[in-house]
A and B are shown apart, each in its own frame.
Chain A
Amino acid sequence: MVTECSDLPVVSFPVRKIKEFFPGYDVNSIVDILPYIGLDIEYVDEDEIRVEYSPNRPDFSSYYGIARSLKGLLEIEMGIPNVKIIQSKDYVISVNKSVSHIRPFIVGLVAKNGSLDDESIRNLVGMQEDLHNGLGRRRAKASIGFHDLSKLEFPLRYDTVSSNASFSPLGFKEAVTIAEILRETEAGRKHGKILPSTKIFPVLLDGSDQIISLPPIINGDSTKINRNSRDLFVEATGTNLSLLEDVLAIMAITLSDMKFDIESVVIFYGKESIVSPNLQLRKFEGLELSYVNNVLGIKITPELALKCLKKSRLDGLIDGCKITCNVPRYRTDISEAIDLVEDIGIGFGIFNLDPSLPAYRFSGKKSRNTIISEKIRQTLVGMGLIENVNFSLISRTLEHEYVNRDIDYKDVVAVVGSKSEEHEILRSSLLPSLLRSLSHNIHEEYPQRLFEIGKVFSLEEDPFERWSLCSVIAHDEADYTEAKSIVQTLMGVGLGKELEAISAIIPTYLEGRGAYLYVADTKVGVIGEISPSIIENFKIRVPVASFEIDLTKLVTFV
């Protein structure tokens, strides 16, 4: 449950529109209530409010969707929003079999008698981008195209062509081949790899055989929409028909809210045909009121539960202690009963829920590792050492500077595709980070005595993830004796264990000044004076003594 998350989509809600949709409401009161439909306020000024929405509500990709939802909570408009589709025979698309292995499905709608301005076009383009990135999975699963209906002729064909075929894509006055589009344009380079074939490409052609779209890459320039477009054709192509119908349902309701008249399109897949958009309601039977009350912690009647559903722009029928719920197609966030429970909670108003405290008869405790770590910290800080915290992910350079030779990378645990060279491998020892810490503090007062408790990783060990304790002592007289004295006191006084050191040649340490540490005949760590060449790598100007203990191993003794 982490709230520091990566970028969520942001929508701008012009204040002018807020006043238009919610006359009589103070804009500040709207800002205060928006979080209760699940939005985060990013920015407010006198011209616009910017809100962040969660990916489970793609209908919030336009402020019309936000207004629709808010009207429910404010009881201005409740229940399922009404969208009228005029069934028409005028608009037909034939799908050729050849697309079935490339980008098999297409859906579409016609939106007539509306009016567009710069702001509403921005709104539509913003929606398109959010839907592409979210539900569309960066266009791979679904992509949407807008066309000016007056610039094309029905019936349309969804077919494949070779890379030699040409048309004028958006922003170009001259015709270019598909091969050139893929190579030369930004859209081509970015989205071209979504298409599985390099020989045939899906295109939408109109009645006069002009290519009006190369999905998911780019549309034709001739059908581009502008402020004067009154009638639109909106299509969506992709790899999953059900998903495309969801996406189109969101477009249909938004355009309907924008006062366009929506007309249907018939699409022939061979002899089979479908009518698009598909706004059939989904039914959820048998939602138990007891379930709703048990999850939310409230006691409401079926009537109030139904009202809360309606406030969330859903609807239903009461059947004793159960409700049969109806969900409109554009509500892609509702798939199970629990989703309906949340919507009833939102309709009820999260601000109306009083926190309660459940009873519990057991007492808590810290983990053994924590108890031991705290004892170590207490002891070392008591001796005047300062604790450091460093990242587990470090650079290959840092590991190299420490080891002072080429590393055998087969034992190193690395990550793939890190955004920074500084964080490519998981450290196998705490020592490099502490040495780096010393090198960042060369202008601070000496003596500097640091320690760190953290996890280290090495495929040589089992388990390969282990807790470690490391300390560095830096000052003009730092030596093996001092390090030994510290670790001995820690073990004896802090943990009640006898420590033994046996001289050894360890590459990190000056020859003759290094040893392995043992507790009850088991090797638990190393100790010594850091070799001058390593100290030089870190640009430290005083001697450094250090020890490192495998805590995972030690804990088995304590």
Chain B
Amino acid sequence: MGFSEIEGPMIQSSFWNFDVLFTPQDHPAREMQDTFYIHGNMPTEDIDNTVLNRVSDIHSKCWKYKWNVEEATRHVLRTHTTAVTLRYLAENKQDEARIFSVGRVFRNEKMTYKHLMEFHQVEGVVTGKDLTLRDLMGLQTLFYSRLGIKKVKFWPTYFPYTEPSLQSMVFIEETGKWIELFGMGIFRPEVTASVGLTGNVLAWGGGLERIAMIRYGLNDVRELYENRLSWLRSVPICRL
């Protein structure tokens, strides 16, 4: 589909993981209960002053509190790969780009049959001229069709850094059920403005494990990480 792969570190500063993505510093998601903070001090990288000031202004204006730069330097295990993709676009301004990333993300949760504290996220970001919400829906539909999924429904949802935001439901022939898969949206102007991007920047993505579970008929997500040889030896290598 013309997407180029990029990757980045799993350890991110809160600045790139949360602040640039319009998540206020007192948001529940930033609490230790939900996010893995790195113990001790990590070497602080320099953040471009222009970006820093823009983010500080936006936070103070929109969330009505005093933005704290120290809070932004606390390092976390990234909670989404958006921290990486957005930063890439900020540092490589291209008029038209399609980039993607597949990487691990982390949530401080108890592991259960359907939740992991470390899992894989797939994410695509698109910049260009005159991109619209309908284009985003079109790209997602095309992506699903390449995975062999023909029936898709979209409805509104919420993410802190995109507006409008949609989630998608797909019909799985094997189970005869509709399930929720990827989320998507157009980055909020506050987000794109702080990194100096113009126009509508589209983003879509979601967890990879759920697709793997459907493909292999698993009911417990932890099985994907158990590495049981009896299973591994029976499953053919994944070929597209």
Using a CB–CB distance below 8 Å, which chain A residues touch chain B? 1-4, 6, 35-38, 40, 54-57, 133, 137-138, 141, 240, 242, 294-298, 335-336, 338-339, 341-342, 345-346, 350-351, 353-358, 360-367, 369-370, 381, 386-393, 413-420, 423, 426, 437, 440-441, 444-445, 448, 450, 455, 457, 463-465
Within 8 Å CB of B29, what residues of A?
A: 6
Distance in angstroms between the alpha carbons of A463 and B157 in the assembled complex: 38
* 27 residue pairs bridging A and B, Cβ less than 8 Å apart: A1-B162, A1-B203, A2-B121, A6-B34, A38-B157, A40-B157, A296-B132, A297-B135, A342-B156, A342-B164, A350-B166, A351-B155, A353-B154, A354-B137, A355-B140, A356-B135, A356-B137, A370-B7, A381-B237, A390-B225, A392-B118, A393-B36, A414-B38, A416-B36, A416-B39, A417-B108, A463-B9
Q: How far is the CB of A441 from chain B (nearest CB, A)?
A: 5
Within 8 Å CB of A335, what residues of B?
A: 62
B188 to A338, Cβ gap below 8 A? yes
Within 8 Å CB of B36, what residues of A?
A: 393, 415-416, 418
Distance in angstroms between the alpha carbons of A419 and B1 in the assembled complex: 39
Contacts across chains A and B counted by CB atoms under 8 Å: 237
Within 8 Å CB of A423, what residues of B?
A: 117-118
Within 8 Å CB of A386, what residues of B?
A: 229, 232-233
B96 to A360, Cβ gap below 8 A? yes
A362 to B39, Cβ gap below 8 A? no
B134 to A420, Cβ gap below 8 A? no
B163 to A1, Cβ gap below 8 A? no
Within 8 Å CB of B184, what residues of A?
A: 1
Range for the number of chain B residues in contact with chain A: 35 or more
A353 to B225, Cβ gap below 8 A? no
Within 8 Å CB of B225, what residues of A?
A: 389-391
A360 to B28, Cβ gap below 8 A? no
Say yes or no: A350-B189 contact (C-beta < 8 A), given A365-B5, A414-B39: no
A342 to B138, Cβ gap below 8 A? no
Further 9 A-B residue pairs, CB within 8 A, beyond A240-B64, A356-B138, A415-B37: A295-B132, A297-B135, A336-B188, A346-B156, A351-B155, A393-B118, A413-B39, A415-B38, A464-B11
Partner of B123, one of A1, A37, A364: A1
Distance in angstroms between the alpha carbons of A386 and B235 in the assembled complex: 11
Q: How far is the CB of B12 from chain A (nearest CB, A)?
A: 11
Interface centre among A54, A56, A416, A465 (most CB of B within 10 A): A416
A417 to B32, Cβ gap below 8 A? yes
Q: How far is the CB of B82 from chain A (nearest CB, A)?
A: 7
A418 to B118, Cβ gap below 8 A? no
Distance in angstroms between the alpha carbons of A419 and B116 in the assembled complex: 12
Partner of B133, one of A240, A297, A389: A297
Main secondary structure on B side of the interface with A: mixed
Within 8 Å CB of A370, what residues of B?
A: 5, 7
Say yes or no: A339-B163 contact (C-beta < 8 A), given A294-B132, A360-B96: yes
Partner of B204, one of A1, A416, A440, A444: A1
Nearest first, the 8 closest Cβ-Cβ pairs linking A and B are: A297-B132, A297-B134, A54-B158, A355-B137, A355-B138, A1-B205, A342-B164, A367-B5
B98 to A437, Cβ gap below 8 A? no
Q: How far is the CB of B122 from chain A (nearest CB, A)?
A: 9
A1 to B159, Cβ gap below 8 A? yes
B37 to A6, Cβ gap below 8 A? no
A415 to B39, Cβ gap below 8 A? yes
A455 to B134, Cβ gap below 8 A? no
B141 to A350, Cβ gap below 8 A? no
Distance in angstroms between the alpha carbons of A558 and B126 in the assembled complex: 30
Q: Hey, what's the 0/1 contact readout for B65-102 against A, CB within 8 Å counting as 1?
A: 00000000000010110100000000000001010100
Partner of B64, one of A242, A345, A457: A242
Q: How far is the CB of B96 from chain A (nearest CB, A)?
A: 7
A336 to B32, Cβ gap below 8 A? no
Q: Across the interface, name the chain B residue whose C-beta is closest to A445.
A: B229
Interface centre among B34, B137, B184 (most CB of A within 10 A): B137
Within 8 Å CB of B14, what residues of A?
A: none
B115 to A4, Cβ gap below 8 A? yes
B181: CB under 8 A from chain A? yes
Distance in angstroms between the alpha carbons of A367 and B128 in the assembled complex: 21
Within 8 Å CB of A35, what residues of B?
A: 155-156
Q: Across the interface, name the chain A residue whose C-beta is closest to B232.
A: A386
Within 8 Å CB of B182, what residues of A?
A: 1, 3
Distance in angstroms between the alpha carbons of A56 and B189 in the assembled complex: 17
Distance in angstroms between the alpha carbons of A1 and B135 in the assembled complex: 17
B54: CB under 8 A from chain A? no
B149: CB under 8 A from chain A? no
Within 8 Å CB of A381, what residues of B?
A: 237
Q: How far is the CB of A133 from chain B (nearest CB, A)?
A: 8
A6 to B155, Cβ gap below 8 A? no
Within 8 Å CB of A138, what residues of B?
A: 28
Within 8 Å CB of A133, what residues of B?
A: 28
A420 to B117, Cβ gap below 8 A? yes
B9 to A465, Cβ gap below 8 A? yes
Distance in angstroms between the alpha carbons of A92 and B33 in the assembled complex: 41
Partner of A2, one of B38, B139, B205: B205
Distance in angstroms between the alpha carbons of A436 and B113 in the assembled complex: 21
B10 to A360, Cβ gap below 8 A? no
Within 8 Å CB of B28, what residues of A?
A: 133, 137-138
Within 8 Å CB of B11, what residues of A?
A: 413, 457, 464-465
Distance in angstroms between the alpha carbons of A61 and B67 in the assembled complex: 29
Distance in angstroms between the alpha carbons of A388 and B175 in the assembled complex: 28
B4: CB under 8 A from chain A? yes
B38 to A413, Cβ gap below 8 A? yes
B64 to A356, Cβ gap below 8 A? no
Within 8 Å CB of A297, what residues of B?
A: 132-135
A419 to B109, Cβ gap below 8 A? yes
A366 to B158, Cβ gap below 8 A? no
A6 to B2, Cβ gap below 8 A? no
Distance in angstroms between the alpha carbons of A415 and B228 in the assembled complex: 28
Distance in angstroms between the alpha carbons of A355 and B140 in the assembled complex: 9
Within 8 Å CB of B118, what residues of A?
A: 391-393, 423
B227 to A336, Cβ gap below 8 A? no
B134 to A354, Cβ gap below 8 A? yes
Q: Hey, what's the 0/1 contact readout for B212-240 against A, CB within 8 Å counting as 1?
A: 00000000000011111110110001000
Q: How far is the CB of A411 from chain B (nearest CB, A)?
A: 11
Q: How far is the CB of A95 from chain B (nearest CB, A)?
A: 21
Within 8 Å CB of B10, what residues of A?
A: 392, 455, 465
A3 to B167, Cβ gap below 8 A? yes
Distance in angstroms between the alpha carbons of A27 and B2 in the assembled complex: 44
Within 8 Å CB of B190, what residues of A?
A: 336
Within 8 Å CB of B205, what residues of A?
A: 1-2
Say yes or no: A350-B38 contact (C-beta < 8 A), given A4-B119, A365-B5, A392-B10: no
Q: Hey, what's the 0/1 contact readout for B136-154 against A, CB within 8 Å counting as 1?
A: 0111111000000000001
B135 to A137, Cβ gap below 8 A? no
Say yes or no: A448-B186 contact (C-beta < 8 A), given A6-B34, A353-B134, A418-B108: no
B38 to A416, Cβ gap below 8 A? yes
B48: CB under 8 A from chain A? no
Q: How far is the CB of A452 from chain B (nearest CB, A)?
A: 9
Within 8 Å CB of A141, what residues of B?
A: 26
Say yes or no: A1-B183 contact (C-beta < 8 A), given A38-B155, A360-B128, A364-B2: yes
